């Protein structure tokens, strides 16, 4: 029987951006903005794995970044982070 991959065995492929559809960039949908606290992050990649919009990237040195043009504020990352390294703040579009 083949062994299931762990999340860290999946390649960190660059996020593919959704095409600009009628709804435009999903970043404008947010009520809450997820904010990563890098001091708490343990690099588990769960946020990257579960983000439905490919809005999270992880750089070669393990730094988690959120692309706010495409993050729609669903907060799945906030709920999945096992060490509460992602905060949610009320969005204030400038
Ligand atoms: S809030 Fe949702 S869309 Fe935004 S980064 Fe987190 S999981 Fe992705
Ligand atoms: S889920 Fe939390 S601890 Fe894991 S990589 Fe994302 S921010 Fe870091």
**Residue 55 belongs to some domain of the structure:** yes
For atom 4 of ligand 1, which residue has the closest CA? Answer: 71
What pLDDT shows up at residue 53?
86
**Residue 90 belongs to some domain of the structure:** yes
Alpha-carbon dihedral sign for residues 7, 5, 52, 19: positive
Domain that holds residue 64: 38-94
Q: How far apart are CA 42 and CA 40, in angstroms?
A: 6
What pLDDT shows up at residue 20?
57
What pLDDT shows up at residue 66?
95
For atom 6 of ligand 2, which residue has the closest CA? Answer: 47
**Residue 28 belongs to some domain of the structure:** no
Q: How far apart are CA 75 and CA 5, in angstroms?
A: 25
Pocket mutation for ligand 1, best pick of 72, 80, 86, 88 (most atoms within 8 Å of C-beta) = 72
* Residue ranges of the chain with per-residue pLDDT less than 70: 14-24
What pLDDT shows up at residue 87?
98
What pLDDT shows up at residue 89?
97
**Residue 21 belongs to some domain of the structure:** no
Q: Is 42 in the pocket of ligand 2 (CB under 6 A)?
A: yes
Give the pTM. 0.86
Q: In CATH, what number is assigned to the domain containing residue 67?
A: 3.30.70.20
What pLDDT shows up at residue 23?
56
Number of domains the chain contains:
1
């Amino acid at each position: 029987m083949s062994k299931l991959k762990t999340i860290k065995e999946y390649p960190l492929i660059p996020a593919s951006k959704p095409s600009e559809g009628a709804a435009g960039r999903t970043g404008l949908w947010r009520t809450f903005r997820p904010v990563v606290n890098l001091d708490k992050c343990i690099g588990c990649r769960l946020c990257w794995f579960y983000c439905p919009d490919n809005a999270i990237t992880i750089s070669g040195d393990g730094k988690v970044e959120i692309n706010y043009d495409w993050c729609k504020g669903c907060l799945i990352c906030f709920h999945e982070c096992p060490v509460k390294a992602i905060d949610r703040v009320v969005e204030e579009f400038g």
